[in-house]
């Protein structure tokens, strides 16, 4: 395992301990609403601080982009992109589907990824050019050839409903053209599941960088393709993302294409 990945795994496991402890008594947590339907709890903040402490101790000159703490030292060559608890709403309802997501971007390129599911103790890791792993075993995207035989994960709009009608059109066609749609509630874990071959593809509108950075690299290192709704590279910036094995990816783009508004197309 790459030395930087070892440190990121240590940070993720530390955050996992905090989250698992808090999950025993979710009712006692202080919860605030950041915006409509977007919540943050004491445990999000404590988990993020634990991650940053471990990473800063090892790499004091690195920058950070965290969901709760925002940006620091963004001019650094190395920037850690952190979501301390992806699936907070699930966590607050004791619905056991949430994770920690940590990615490293070096000179603008994603090079390390960790997604840790503290409920199942599943550790997904990837280093650019070295493949993707689940609990130290190599993982691959599925080899399924047809969208109609595929299980596809997605996320519903929950904060911003600007694209809701567009999304519902996409969902309607996806429901008709697949074997099933799932909406587990953590985009980072959804992407890890694509990498592991547990679902064949994933799509969502308007996600944040920290939701998709680690998961995107995992999918790529597991032999999948990640793109925006036109198959281009803007997914990390726009948060409009499609991820799947190569054959299903192409068919997903075809299915989504008739619904694309100008605002969902690749920025010129």
Domain containing residue 214: CATH number:
3.40.190.80
Within a domain: 265: no
Q: What is the pLDDT of residue 94?
A: 93
Instruction: Check residue 29 and give its pLDDT.
Output: 81
pLDDT tens profile 131-171:
999 999 999 999 999 999 999 999 998 777 888 999 999 99
Q: Does 151 share its domain with 129?
A: no
Per-residue confidence (pLDDT) for residue 33, from 0 to 100: 78
Shared-domain flag, residues 20 and 96: yes
Predicted pLDDT at 68: 82
Q: Are residues 7 and 126 in the same domain?
A: yes
Judge if 127 and 193 occupy the same domain.
Answer: no
Which of the 8 DSSP states describes residue 42? H
Kindly state whether residues 176 and 240 are assigned to the same domain.
yes
Q: Which residues of the chain have pLDDT under 70?
A: 35-39
> Can you give the pLDDT at residue 69?
80
pTM, to two decimals: 0.95
192/213 Cα distance (integer angstroms): 11
- Domain limits for position 180: 147-260
pLDDT score at 11: 98
The CATH number for 133's domain is: 3.30.540.10
Percent pLDDT > 70 in the chain is: 98
23 and 102 in a single domain? The answer is yes
Does residue 187 lie in a domain region? yes
Indicate if 128 and 151 belong to the same structural domain: no
Q: Is residue 266 a contact partner of residue 230, using CB atoms and an 8 Å limit?
A: yes
How do residues 16-41 score in pLDDT, each as one tens digit?
999 999 999 888 888 877 766 566 77
Same domain, 114 and 155: no
- Could you tell me if 78 and 174 lie in one domain? no
One domain for residues 173 and 238: yes
Query: Both 169 and 115 in a single domain?
Result: no
In a domain, 214, yes or no: yes
Asked if residue 97 and residue 49 are part of one domain, the reply reads: yes
Query: Could you say which DSSP state residue 179 is in?
Result: S
C-beta of residue 266 within 8 angstroms of C-beta of residue 234: yes
pLDDT at 80: 98
CA separation for the pair 123, 117 (Å, rounded) = 6
Give the residue from 138, 168, 200 where a domain finishes: 138
pLDDT, residue 36, reads 64
In angstroms, the CA 187 to CA 85 distance is 11
Q: Which residues of 221-257 are buried (b: 16+ CB within 10 A; e: fewer)?
A: bbbbbbbbbebeebbbebbbbbbbbebbbebbbebbe
Q: Which of 109, 138, 167 is the last residue of a domain?
A: 138
Domain boundary among 104, 138, 172: 138
Q: How many domains does the chain have?
A: 2
- Mean pLDDT rounded to a whole number for the chain: 94
Burial 2-34 (b: 16+ CB within 10 A, else e): eebbebbbbbbbbbbebbeebbeeeeeeeeeee
Is 212 domain-assigned? yes
């Amino acid at each position: 395992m790459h030395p930087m990945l070892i440190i990121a795994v240590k940070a993720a496991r530390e955050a996992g301990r905090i989250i698992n402890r808090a999950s025993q008594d979710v009712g006692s947590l202080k919860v605030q609403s950041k915006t409509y339907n977007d919540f943050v709890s004491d445990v999000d903040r404590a988990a993020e601080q634990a991650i940053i402490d471990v990473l800063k101790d090892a790499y004091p000159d690195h920058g950070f982009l965290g969901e709760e703490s925002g940006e620091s030292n963004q001019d650094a060559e190395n920037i850690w992109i952190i979501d301390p608890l992806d699936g907070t709403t699930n966590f607050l309802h004791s619905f056991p589907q949430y994770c920690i997501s940590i990615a490293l971007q070096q000179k603008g390129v994603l090079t390390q990824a960790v997604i840790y599911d503290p409920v199942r103790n599943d550790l997904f890791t990837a280093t650019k050019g070295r493949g993707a792993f689940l609990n130290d075993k190599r993982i691959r995207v599925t080899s399924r050839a047809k969208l109609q035989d595929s299980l596809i994960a997605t996320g519903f709009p929950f904060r911003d409903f600007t694209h809701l009608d567009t999304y519902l059109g996409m969902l309607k066609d996806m429901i008709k053209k697949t074997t099933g749609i799932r909406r587990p509630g953590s985009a980072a874990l959804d992407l890890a599941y694509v990498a592991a071959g547990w679902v064949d593809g994933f799509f969502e509108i308007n996600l944040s960088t920290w939701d998709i950075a680690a998961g995107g690299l995992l999918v790529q290192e597991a032999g999948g393709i990640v793109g925006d709704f036109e198959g281009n590279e803007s997914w990390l910036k726009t948060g409009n993302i499609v991820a799947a094995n190569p054959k299903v990816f192409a068919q997903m783009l075809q299915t989504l294409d008739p619904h694309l508004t100008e605002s969902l197309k690749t920025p010129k």
